[in-house]
Structure 1
Amino acid sequence: MVGDIILARDGHLTRQLLLEPAKFGLGKTRQSESPDATTTSVCGFCSTGCGLEIHLKEGRSVNLTPSTDWPVNLGMACPKGWEALNVLQSSDRATRPLRRGASGELEPTSWDEALHYFCQQMKGVQSRHGNDAVAFLSTGQIATEEMAFLGSLAKFGMGMQHGDGNTRQCMATAATAYKESFGFDAPPFSYADFEESDTLIFVGSNICIAHPILWERVLRNRHQPEIIAIDPRLTETAQAATSHLKIQPKSDLTLLYAVANYLIQKDWIDREFIAAHTNDFEPFAQHVQSYTIERAMELTGLSEQAIVELAEKIHRGQRVSFWWTMGVNQSHEGVRTAQAIINLALMTGNIGRPGTGANSITGQCNAMGSRLFSNTTNLLGGHSFTNEADRQKVAGILEIPIERIPTENSWAYDQIIEGIRQEKIKGLWVIATNPAHSWIHQNDLQEIFQKLDFLVVQDMYSNTETAQLADLVLPAAAWGEKEGTFINSERRYGLHKKVSPAPGEALADFQIFRAVADYWGCGEMFSKWTEPERVFETMQQLSEGQPCDISGIAGYAELDDRRGVQWPCATGETDRSVERRLFETGRFYHADEKAKFIFEDSRRPGETADDEFPFVLLTGRGAAAQWHTQTRTAKSSVLRKLYPNVLQVDLHPADAKALGIAPHELIHVESRRGIVQAHANLTAAVGRGQVFMPMHWDTVNQLTFAEFDPYSRQPSYKNAAVRLRRRQDV
């Protein structure tokens, strides 16, 4: 039973977990005094941040419905949201700590033994190889308060130098682009802009599938907008758009530069805005002169008419919004492509006004929380590890010696993996993510993990591909079983609540971090963090004076009452609008308050199709009912009915005919790194010489090519060379 778990507090063994739950960070159920009532909680799947009404009976959740007054979803929910409670009931849940025994199998152990073992092994690695030999890989799926706790514990308490999150796989490009262009990682938009724009341009974004509720917001637009999809595939979004530019893979940077050049030549730009609010436009204008319509036609495969019409639609639009997701971010030159989008918005004055903006739609429910508070890519609250004043501020707020704060940035995710390969990192703590499935070039990663002395996986399921490799598995509570905040794509903090007990001996990540701190011997450093809301108060202090200032929020109660609050919300701020956007005054976050035009020559990806491997493999989301590695969505019988039950590879009918491949035939898809079997799905949605596979199946990343954007270090999942072969030809 959970009540029998032994935890260390101030050097004394106690059994107070259930007797004093707040002391161990369980949080409170924020609901009506009646045990049969409803309470609103923000969803824990994607970054949309929908509000869900959780229906309670005898104090426990029994059902849910979408919240009609939540400003994000307005009474709507996608299939994942509807099933959010049901996936918690899976028999695959991790319910006890597991330690790999002498037999080589994972065997149940007590929390006391697990935590002693964790500290013994991690400290052993540090004593043999140095503090830098241990690292963590975190997530965009846990609460912001838990991220802050983990990052502080690992970096300040345990002495780790290196830690990163799986948001590196989805949002690092956007974060880097915003920082360089605006001076801070600041998505400028509000979801209201979907409804207020007269021209919406989606670049590498299948929003219909990836963010269905945001597509619903597009459908509420009463301006009869132009909807333009720029994508190699005829995705669901492209099918619904008013025009589709079926571009060749990884040629989007060339297209965007050519459009910019055309707009400049026609003088269809906002010179007043450019002069008052930006830097480096003239060098940018000179740079794009070589990106002619003819050059763009050759590389993109688009017609002159299509390229010119795109520029004309941008010019004619009064409120033009640009939107992008993984098709841009997961690229070998994603940062510069994102900045090419930002440049178009800046040069046409389409920013800071309703219905405008260069707008990155986030992936995971709390990727924005990870970007600001996980202590990975930056110091807590958007500060810098390399800035002494920032370190002094953070040390003062946390009441710790400044010497405990690293003075250098962490390695990025791929660099941590490479550090394991080179045996510089020997201990790894993986929290709420599944890299053995999701990391690029999967076979390579699984071999690399064998070099670790000690691997700990902390997850709500004990049967993930990564957990099966672990030396120690720590069972974690899930969304709905703990409390904290998420930050969605439009910068809105939403409160998620504890409405169900965690199964067996599973604990909230917050509790696990408190327990690790105590067993490690640094618990006193976090003695004030007795529950998530206390960490939120510290986050408010850390954010003060930053672009992401939330010092003016009156705690969890205001988040609940106001149905979420967008940052910034500083002390004394009087604007309490439900929907707000950034840069309305034209002031950005660089020291001179101007945005920067940033640019670079486009270049070919590291692997392209050739005679031996003649097809380009594209990967992405398969269906609205699927999510990432499917550790949760695969547990729902309802969701499983909404997508194919076998791995499919989409290919053009003409390519199938040339290879003699019949519809639904089981074929081999092979790259230089691996070979997988998939059923042929013949569709003109993909172009000739291209194939598409959904990322959710555990074998797909055996094929992907490990290439990384040089600035964001984000992997390029959407470009690998493969060949197709019938099984009898292998």
Structure 2
Amino acid sequence: MFTLPAPTFREWNGPLTEDLVRDPARFGLGQLPRRLQPNGTAKSICGFCSTGCGLKLHLKDGVAINATPDPDYPVNLGTACPKGWEALTPLDAADRATTPLLHGQPVDWQTAMNVFCEKMKGVLDQHGPGSAAFISTGQMMCEEMAFLGSLTKFGMGLIHGDGNTRQCMATAVTAYKESFGFDAPPFTYADFEESDVMVFIGANPCIAHPIMWQRVLRNKRQPQIIVVDPRTTETAMAATQHYAIQPKSDLTLLYGIAHLLIREGAVDTQFVSESTTGFEEFSTFVQAYTPESVAAATGLTVAQLQCFADTIRAGTPRVSFWWTMGVNQSHQATRTAQAIINLALMTGNIGKPGTGANSITGQCNAMGSRLFSNTTNLIGGHDFKNPAHRAKIAEAMGFPVERIPDQPSLAYDQILEGIESGKIKALWIIATNPSHSWINQKRFNNLLSKLDFFVVQDMYGTTETARQAHLFLPAAAWGEKDGTFINSERRIGFSRQVRRAPGQALSDFRIFRLIAHAWGLGDLFSEWTSPEAVFQILKRCTQDQPCEISGIQDYAMIEKSGGIQWPLKVTDAAAPGFATERRLFADGRFFTPDQRARFIFDPTVPPPELPDADFPLILITGRGTSAQWHTETRTAKSEVLRKLAPAELFLDIHPEDARQLNIRDMSVVMVESRRASLTMKARISPGVCQGQVFLPMHDPRVNQLTHWAVDPFSRQPNYKHCAVRVSPSTR
């Protein structure tokens, strides 16, 4: 049994030792880190979305009391969205978790650790290493993700663990790996300002990534802005060309545009010949996607298709392609992302200013999760199945190589199916709220009752998921711990501690360190004393990888440089004044064995749930406001942000559909899918096309309606398409 030598255990700045709990003041418990001035300012990176904005945190008596945008940070250049201005507010919420809970009752950390180890070891001993799993998040720091993934897989002996980044970025990861040879977004945010044409596909940056949209507005080249989206979104309203396609016909559209470019000789043949492979096969494949057939499938006209193709044809100076969840959350998501990549390759729009096939990430550290969470990829972008990679990581970490698993994890949906089948008996969820966010919510929540042991680790014990936990572990939040985030443009930024966590809450890093000691793994993780110590380990893990960061000395260098984009080798860092804005593939060489990018494609297939006579409408979901974030776990704590977002749930419906269904504006309606029915108010809007309705994803009820389907390659859920019916409510 693990025993803490003191009755309480609180956050600290030093390493975990028995001396800590005997004499916490010796380690600066409750004090501001010495490097900060009690009444000065500190710089940090916002912990909400993947933009990675720089913030100035203003301190009074050693406590951060306000946040303003950092005018010197190269990402946001002195601007911030509403969430950034309110970044500190969620830390002061009345329902912050302050103590561990066992079946809803407060316990001390000693009891929590004893229960955690006893129950987890019991499951693993009885049912084997595949019987327990974890689901983590893109909200933790890189160092915390690496600690969790290494602790569970190299220490505790788990095989399976995935992250909620599966819900947002798995498609981009899979597409980039197959097409480029590595998960490598090629762009920098300066490309927003240097494009002559910007194509946004399934992306609404005006709402989802407002600071990126500010960068678009700074473009002085008078760019053409093309938006491909079924809805007339806020971004579409600002477009020079909006293509309101039928939901999930984007893959057909992209193949049709490729057909036109090839037919008219509007291809960069030199780049294709020197830097790609598979183009001839792709050219043959898209011959079937004629303008007439594509127009019929997408709802566009042949003239619109021609206009689109003419705007991006080879010879146009600078064309950039941008996509996010409208592409990633689809039944053919990976091939759609690769169809975008194919267009960039065939027109030579890669590796140059204002170009690129550019995936906009979701969460603040989804890019860090992709590289360092140690879930479906071995840490540092390596492969669990590769013996040389396992040996390299073992040496870099100082672990016995036999501790490195030789198989990747099941994906998120497969972990859940493992619970349903009875193969997975224990689940540990960290900093995510799938009882709200996972597709077909009722089915997910029914699965939790099948678990022998369910642990949730979060900053609030009041989330829909946390309330169902057997054991709850209270975690510190952004601003209460140090570490690094990696944003959409591969920029590593330093987020610092400027607050104390409340009560007995600990940073995720310290919780993992405490578990390591309780499990008996203290010696194995003896080097993992602080986030910055782990950052040095991660540097070793990335050597000779496309994402190498050996040239970053320490946190101080990151902060002084205004963040640093990977890769940065020691030789690059030694060069005078290395560039703060750096693109990949400028030399036309990729990370595949032959250094050529690949054209990858498959035939289109219909969505898994089509409308019919009983459920005649298509429900699409998405972000509804720039003032709320995902499941509103943090943003709903802010009175300001609540006032900036709708207080009620509204269903957007086309005027003609509303007329036919006898629905009036602001009247109460019932929305039904094959899984659930909900009541809400209708909002008649020409922004949605006839035959479609729209709901914002933030409301906790919406995913009762959505359909459990995933892309076969990325395993990313298809949130954006299911069949529903709408009728006036008798309520």
Letter in 2 for 1:556: Y
Helix, strand or coil at the partner of 1:421: helix
Helix, strand or coil at the partner of 1:15: helix
Pairing of 1:604-619 with structure 2 (within 5 A): 604-619=606-621
Task: Work out which of the residue numbers 274, 278, 286 in structure 2 matches 1:280.
Answer: 278
Task: Work out which of the residue numbers 672, 678, 690 in structure 2 matches 1:676.
Answer: 678
Task: Work out which of the residue numbers 580, 583, 593 in structure 1 matches 2:595.
Answer: 593
User: Distance in 1 between the 2:604 and 2:230 partners?
Assistant: 18
Helix, strand or coil at the partner of 2:338: helix
User: Distance in 1 between the 2:594 and 2:655 partners?
Assistant: 55
Task: Work out which of the residue numbers 13, 24, 45 in structure 2 matches 1:18.
Answer: 24
User: Distance in 2 between the 1:298 and 1:331 partners?
Assistant: 20
Equivalent residue, structure 1, for 2:129? 131
Equivalent residue, structure 2, for 1:67? 70
Q: Is the 8 A contact 2:32 2:38 kept in 1?
A: no
Q: Which digits, 9 at most, give the CA deviation of each residue in 1:222-248, with x for residues without a partner? A: 000000000000000000111100000
Q: 1:10 to 1:514 in 2, by over 3 A?
A: closer
Cα deviation for residue 10 of structure 1 reads 9.4
User: Distance in 2 between the 1:300 and 1:600 partners?
Assistant: 18
Task: Work out which of the residue numbers 576, 580, 583 in structure 2 matches 1:581.
Answer: 583
Q: Verify: 1:80 aligned to 2:83, yes or no.
A: yes
User: Distance in 2 between the 1:344 and 1:16 partners?
Assistant: 62
Q: 1:17 to 1:643 in 2, by over 3 A?
A: farther
Q: Is the 8 A contact 2:10 2:505 kept in 1?
A: no
Equivalent residue, structure 1, for 2:690? 688
Cα deviation for residue 595 of structure 1 reads 0.4
Q: Which digits, 9 at most, give the CA deviation of each residue in 1:278-309, with x for residues without a partner? A: 00100000000000001110110001111100
Deviating more after overlay: 487-496 vs 120-129 = 120-129
Q: Which digits, 9 at most, give the CA deviation of each residue in 1:100-130, with x for residues without a partner? A: 0xxxxx1101011011111111111112211
Pairing of 1:555-704 with structure 2 (within 5 A): 555-573=554-572, 574=575, 576-704=578-706
Q: Which digits, 9 at most, give the CA deviation of each residue in 1:174-195, with x for residues without a partner? A: 0000000000000000000000
Helix, strand or coil at the partner of 1:378: coil
Q: Is the 8 A contact 1:60 1:499 kept in 2?
A: yes
Q: 1:596 to 1:4 in 2, by over 3 A?
A: same
Q: Is the 8 A contact 1:30 1:497 kept in 2?
A: no
Task: Work out which of the residue numbers 27, 40, 46 in structure 1 matches 2:49.
Answer: 46
Cα deviation for residue 19 of structure 1 reads 3.6
Helix, strand or coil at the partner of 2:523: helix
Q: 1:27 to 1:240 in 2, by over 3 A?
A: farther
Cα deviation for residue 572 of structure 1 reads 1.2
Helix, strand or coil at the partner of 2:532: helix
Helix, strand or coil at the partner of 1:526: coil
Cα deviation for residue 4 of structure 1 reads 4.8
Cα deviation for residue 400 of structure 1 reads 1.2
User: Distance in 2 between the 1:310 and 1:19 partners?
Assistant: 65
Q: Which digits, 9 at most, give the CA deviation of each residue in 1:234-286, with x for residues without a partner? A: 00000011110000000000000010011001110000000100001000000
Cα deviation for residue 219 of structure 1 reads 0.1
Q: Which digits, 9 at most, give the CA deviation of each residue in 1:50-91, with x for residues without a partner? A: 000001112210111100010000000000000000111000
Q: Is the 8 A contact 1:51 1:66 kept in 2?
A: yes
Deviating more after overlay: 4-13 vs 50-59 = 4-13
Cα deviation for residue 14 of structure 1 reads 5.9
Helix, strand or coil at the partner of 1:248: coil
Q: Which digits, 9 at most, give the CA deviation of each residue in 1:600-658, with x for residues without a partner? A: 00110110111100110000101000100000000000000011111111101111111
Equivalent residue, structure 2, for 1:227? 225
% identical aligned pairs: 57
Q: Which digits, 9 at most, give the CA deviation of each residue in 1:335-387, with x for residues without a partner? A: 00000000000000000000000000000000000000000120010000000
Cα deviation for residue 27 of structure 1 reads 11
CA RMSD of aligned residues (A): 1.8
Letter in 2 for 1:199: V
Q: Which digits, 9 at most, give the CA deviation of each residue in 1:448-499, with x for residues without a partner? A: 1110001000000000000011001100000000000000000000000000
Q: Is the 8 A contact 2:16 2:514 kept in 1?
A: no
Pairing of 1:284-299 with structure 2 (within 5 A): 284-299=282-297
> Post-superposition, which runs of at least 4 consecutive aligned residues in structure 1 deviate over 2 A?
2-14, 16-22, 26-32
Q: 1:40 to 1:406 in 2, by over 3 A?
A: same
User: Distance in 2 between the 1:528 and 1:402 partners?
Assistant: 17
Equivalent residue, structure 2, for 1:396? 395
Task: Work out which of the residue numbers 194, 197, 210 in structure 1 matches 2:195.
Answer: 197
Q: Which digits, 9 at most, give the CA deviation of each residue in 1:530-554, with x for residues without a partner? A: 1100000000000111000000011
Helix, strand or coil at the partner of 1:359: strand
User: Distance in 2 between the 1:722 and 1:321 partners?
Assistant: 35
Q: Is the 8 A contact 1:31 1:39 kept in 2?
A: no
Helix, strand or coil at the partner of 1:524: coil
User: Distance in 1 between the 2:84 and 2:18 partners?
Assistant: 42
User: Distance in 1 between the 2:417 and 2:23 partners?
Assistant: 40
TM-score, scaled to structure 2: 0.97
Q: 1:17 to 1:408 in 2, by over 3 A?
A: farther
Cα deviation for residue 18 of structure 1 reads 3.0
User: Distance in 2 between the 1:186 and 1:20 partners?
Assistant: 44
Q: 1:482 to 1:14 in 2, by over 3 A?
A: closer
Helix, strand or coil at the partner of 1:572: helix
Equivalent residue, structure 1, for 2:147? 149
Q: Verify: 1:509 aligned to 2:508, yes or no.
A: yes
Q: 1:230 to 1:282 in 2, by over 3 A?
A: same
Equivalent residue, structure 1, for 2:174? 176
User: Distance in 2 between the 1:27 and 1:381 partners?
Assistant: 34
Equivalent residue, structure 1, for 2:455? 456
Which ranges of structure 1 fall in alignment gaps of 5 or more residues? 101-105
Equivalent residue, structure 2, for 1:245? 243
User: Distance in 1 between the 2:513 and 2:173 partners?
Assistant: 29
Letter in 2 for 1:535: V
Cα deviation for residue 206 of structure 1 reads 0.5
Q: Verify: 1:164 aligned to 2:166, yes or no.
A: no
Equivalent residue, structure 2, for 1:520? 519
Equivalent residue, structure 2, for 1:375? 374
Cα deviation for residue 5 of structure 1 reads 2.4
Q: Is the 8 A contact 1:323 1:360 kept in 2?
A: yes
Which ranges of structure 2 fall in alignment gaps of 5 or more residues? none
Cα deviation for residue 36 of structure 1 reads 1.0
Helix, strand or coil at the partner of 1:338: helix
Letter in 2 for 1:466: T
User: Distance in 2 between the 1:238 and 1:107 partners?
Assistant: 50
Q: Is the 8 A contact 1:192 1:355 kept in 2?
A: yes
Q: Is the 8 A contact 1:7 1:112 kept in 2?
A: no
Equivalent residue, structure 1, for 2:119? 121
Equivalent residue, structure 2, for 1:480? 479
Equivalent residue, structure 2, for 1:543? 542
Q: Which digits, 9 at most, give the CA deviation of each residue in 1:508-537, with x for residues without a partner? A: 000000000000111211111111000000
Cα deviation for residue 3 of structure 1 reads 8.4
Cα deviation for residue 28 of structure 1 reads 7.7
User: Distance in 2 between the 1:213 and 1:14 partners?
Assistant: 42
